[in-house]
Structure 1
Amino acid sequence: MKPVNMLQPDPSYHLKVQDPVHSLDFLNQQLLTGCASGKIKIFCLSSLRSNYELKASSSPIVFISSNTESLICQDRAGTVKVYDLEKNGYVINTEIQTNHTGFARSIRIRGDKDILLTPNDSSDINVYDVQNISTVPIHKLSFTAEETGQIMCMRELNFSTESSYLLAGYESGHLVLWDLKEFKLVHNIKYDFPVCNVDYDSSTNRGVLSSPTIHTIHVFGINRMNLELQQRDAENIELQHNEGRKVAGVSSLKIRSDKKCLFVGSCDGVVDIVSWKSLRKLATLRNHRSEISDIAFSNTQIDNFKSNLSAIGSIDGSVSLWDIYYKKS
């Protein structure tokens, strides 16, 4: 990607969390932030103030998934906690020890069943039934290739209402496609770097992946006939800053839910926004001083901003909120 003069806009708002941010989750008109202190701070997006804090751990909170009834979080020490939301706040329901101290975040999939997938201390993935949660998984996904190392990332996908699949990236460079209906391995390919970030859009049959060790976004697809993963290196995106300096490794990578933009967060705090249609860079966001740890998108309009929002969390202890490239009401 050639360096050109790109749009460098200002955020709609900059939340000062005053605690390094490791994870984000939108819940209606609120934003949940998982922090290095082990706290989950909930911000009201009307007042733009924190109105609730949950001390979930003494270790950084690297994953949050919430709804109006429950909250699930994972800390860096490998503990996953399930909370029920009651009148006076969140009450612990179940605590699961995964022993995973790496970088992979759990993932919650709400389909025919409400399931939770967690990494463990090997390269396995444990599957739990959230509606009947216990410390014992209902299934285990085991990838048996030699020297896979730890699992680094996971992403759900489906091609129809009847299907449910999972992409998993490994320290060894393997990208694996799992069938979650039959809990079996479908296909895998291997890269020469750890696959630490992955996302996929079934409407375009295009996926992207990267790693903090490289400054390239690798593109892949899935053959719908035989479900084989296919590298599409001719479409790869080479990321550079405007002055020609290469991006300092990719720390977060997400396709926005409206499929218009790809957000690429780097280890030096810069975020590039790429057109998902053309794969050309649209804007560069330079509002953070440290690594971009997570990116989240609201699935509804935020009343105070009259727009959907994109949230970018950073180790610098802040979250920037953006309405860029959304249609405003």
Structure 2
Amino acid sequence: MLQPDPSYHLKIQEPVHSINFLSQQLLTGTASGKIKFFCLSSLRSNFELKVSSNGGILYVSSDTETLICQDRQGIIKIYDLEKCGYVAKNEINTEHIGFTRCIKLMNRDLLLTPSGSSDINVYDLRTSIDPIYKLSSFQNDQVGQIMCMIDVSLTSQASETIFYLIAGFESGHLVLFDLREFKAIHSIKYDFPVCSVDYDASTNRGVLSSPTIHKIHIFGIDRLKMELIQKEAECIELQHSEGSKVAGISSLKIRIDKKCLFVGSCDGVVNIFSWKSLRKLATLRNHRNEITDIAFSAIPIDSFKSNLSAISSTDGTVSLWDIYYK
């Protein structure tokens, strides 16, 4: 089994909880409440922003105008980029104490956040510091805390783009929400907390897992009935090359080009699978502690002459990879 070396290893000097690419930069959210901006040409931090005194930054996202971040205590801060730098614009207290990240909807000024209950709150980023909608599951208080969520866009038979949300809960429920009417439309249940999830509309295949198990579970969506479908026959059981089971799964993501699935574990091991065949391609053993986030550049990084995949860990490092792009 291939065990390649990274293109580069960034040393952040403290646990890293979130990462995201911004053009030719990498943003890192740290345990001390800082966002560090790394220039990918010099591979050095050229700016940092102290955004929280409440613990680690679980989510960081930015475009050319706005930066959004979320800390461990559920506080979301929104900054505008002006000539003088980043200026605080808004602050939202989600009342969520946990590790569930918020989502900015694709091509819409809506922010979906966890809450202090099992509900998901919807905010209008342009106007509101209070929720404009609340998403509730069928089971309501029986599902426990929300653990993960992703937004999905599907094309209807009338060629209309419709937005949905897939959310995993502490109870093991996976719930599909219609974001036109902001309501739950279907759910299925697993016997473990659903803590990480991703979905690819082009293959109608999704993946989910949890730190409490050693498997990747597969699901799909019945596009006619708009119902979630469990595909238990396609489960992937993770094992080390010597046959022992890996630690539980802390993060998983399908790469933007739909060629690879990256699966990060609580022991720092990352397994890469072919997204087409689900065959394991490589095992990365460059991190010592839990994998906290995985991110992919949408464009080639000039200094590497390739797109990059980035992996962050509580060991205080971020590894950069150009594997399987060429």
Place the TM-score, normalised by the shorter chain, in its bin.
Answer: over 0.9
SS of aligned partner of 2:126: helix
1:10 paired with 2:8, answer: no
Alpha-carbon distance in structure 1 between the residues aligned to 2:225 and 2:18: 35
1:85 paired with 2:81, answer: yes
* Identical-pair percentage: 71
Alpha-carbon distance in structure 1 between the residues aligned to 2:304 and 2:21: 14
1:74 paired with 2:64, answer: no
Residue 309 of structure 2 aligns with which residue? 310
1:102 maps to amino acid: G
- Please say if residues 17 and 56 of structure 2, whose CA atoms lie closer than 8 Å, have aligned partners that are also in contact: yes
Deviations 1:43-62 (A, max 9, x none): 00011000111100021000
Q: 2:153 aligns with which of 140, 158, 171?
A: 158
Alpha-carbon distance in structure 2 between the residues aligned to 1:225 and 1:244: 41
Q: CA deviation at 1:144?
A: 4.3
TM-score (norm 2): 0.97
Deviations 1:233-276 (A, max 9, x none): 11000001111111100000000000000000000000000000
Residue 52 of structure 2 aligns with which residue? 57
In structure 1, list runs of 5 or more residues that go unmatched. 1-5
Alpha-carbon distance in structure 1 between the residues aligned to 2:47 and 2:24: 14
Deviations 1:73-106 (A, max 9, x none): 0000110000111122211100111110112100
Q: CA deviation at 1:131?
A: 2.6
Kindly report which structure 2 residues correspond to 1:131-210, keeping only aligned pairs within 5 A, or say none. Answer: 131-132=126-127, 134-145=128-139, 146-160=141-155, 162-210=161-209
1:244 maps to amino acid: G
Deviations 1:119-162 (A, max 9, x none): 00101111111233x21111110124152110000011111252
SS of aligned partner of 2:3: coil
Which 4+ stretches in 1 moved above 4 angstroms? none
Kindly report which structure 2 residues correspond to 1:1-329, keeping only aligned pairs within 5 A, or say none. Answer: 6-58=1-53, 59-111=55-107, 113-132=108-127, 134-145=128-139, 146-160=141-155, 162-327=161-326
Alpha-carbon distance in structure 2 between the residues aligned to 1:21 and 1:123: 27
Residue 3 of structure 1 aligns with which residue? none
| RMSD (CA atoms) | 0.9
Alpha-carbon distance in structure 2 between the residues aligned to 1:181 and 1:63: 25
Alpha-carbon distance in structure 1 between the residues aligned to 2:305 and 2:180: 39
Q: How many residues align?
A: 320
TM-score (norm 1): 0.96
